C-alpha cells in the first residue's frame, strides 16, 4: 500500500503529547471526501504524519500546473460538490467537529478517479456547538482568507465557506484567484466575478476552454 508522509516542526505545537492525542482523534474521522490520516511518528524533534496516497496530486496542480489537464464540466462539478460534502462533514457530522484553517485548492487532493479529498485538516482546532468562533492566529492563504478571519482571527464555519467559494470560482474559471498576467480588471478573481455579477454577466467567469457546460448548474 502506498502512503504519503509529511514532516512537521515540533516548535509549531504545544508538545508531543498534545500532537499524539490530536492525531489519534483525527484518525477516527472518516469520509469519502477527506484524506485518510493513518497515524503519526515522533522521531527526535521531528513529527511525521502518514496519509493515504492520492495519485492525481492537488487540485491547483491539475487546474493551473504546467501540465494543465482540461477537465469536462461533469468532472469539474463533481470535484466542486465532493469538496463541499467533505467540508460539510467536518462542520456538521465529524466527532469532534472541525473548522479547517486553510481551505484552498492545494489542500484538495484528487484520487485516480479524480474524486476530491480535503487534506491538512488534521491539526485544525476542534470546536463545540456552544462556540460561535475560535480565536486563533491567522494562518490561511492570501486570496482564500475570509475578511473576518484576516482582520480579527475569528475562525468560523463561514470563513471556511468563503474559502470554498473562492475554490468554486477557480474551478469554474480555470484560473487562480489572482493572476497579474491578465488585464487589470481580471487580476483578482473575486473582484472580476463580482463585477460580472453586477452586470448580469455571471457566466462570463466560466473557463473559455470548456467545450460545453450546464448554465443552470453554473449559476447555482
Residues marked active site are found at 102
Helices (H) and strands (E) in the chain, counts: 7, 9
Orientation angle between helical segments 73-88 and 157-173, nearest 10 degrees: 170
Residue 185 burial (C-beta neighbours within 10 Å; 0-12, 13-18, 19+): exposed
Orientation angle between helical segments 189-198 and 157-173, nearest 10 degrees: 80
Single out the residue of 71, 162, 156, 146 nearest to residue 116, CA to CA: 71
d(CA 171, CA 165): 10
Q: Output phi, psi for 51, to 5 deg.
A: -120, 170
- If phi > 0 it is left, if psi is from -120 to 50 it is alpha, else beta; for residue 39 that is left
Amino acid at each position: 500500500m502506498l502512503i504519503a508522509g509529511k514532516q512537521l516542526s515540533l516548535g509549531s505545537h504545544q508538545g508531543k503529547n498534545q500532537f499524539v492525542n490530536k492525531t489519534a482523534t483525527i484518525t477516527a474521522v472518516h469520509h469519502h471526501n477527506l484524506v485518510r490520516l493513518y497515524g503519526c511518528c515522533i522521531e527526535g524533534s521531528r513529527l511525521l504524519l502518514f496519509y493515504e496516497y492520492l495519485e492525481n496530486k492537488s487540485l491547483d496542480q491539475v487546474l493551473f500546473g504546467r501540465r494543465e489537464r482540461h477537465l469536462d464540466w461533469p468532472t469539474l462539478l463533481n470535484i466542486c460538490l465532493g469538496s463541499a460534502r467533505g467540508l460539510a462533514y467536518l462542520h456538521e457530522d465529524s466527532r469532534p467537529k472541525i473548522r479547517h484553517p486553510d481551505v484552498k485548492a492545494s489542500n484538495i487532493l484528487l484520487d485516480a478517479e479524480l474524486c476530491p479529498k480535503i487534506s491538512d485538516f488534521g491539526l485544525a482546532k476542534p470546536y463545540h456547538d456552544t462556540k460561535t468562533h475560535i480565536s486563533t492566529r491567522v494562518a490561511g492563504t492570501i486570496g482564500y482568507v475570509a475578511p473576518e478571519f484576516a482582520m480579527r482571527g475569528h475562525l468560523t464555519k463561514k470563513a471556511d465557506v468563503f474559502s470554498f467559494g473562492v475554490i468554486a470560482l477557480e474551478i469554474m474559471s480555470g484560473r487562480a484567484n489572482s493572476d497579474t498576467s491578465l488585464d487589470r480588471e481580471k487580476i483578482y478573481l473575486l473582484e472580476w466575478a463580482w463585477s460580472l455579477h453586477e452586470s448580469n454577466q455571471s457566466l462570463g467567469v466560466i473557463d473559455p476552454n470548456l467545450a460545453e457546460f450546464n448554465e443552470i448548474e453554473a449559476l447555482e
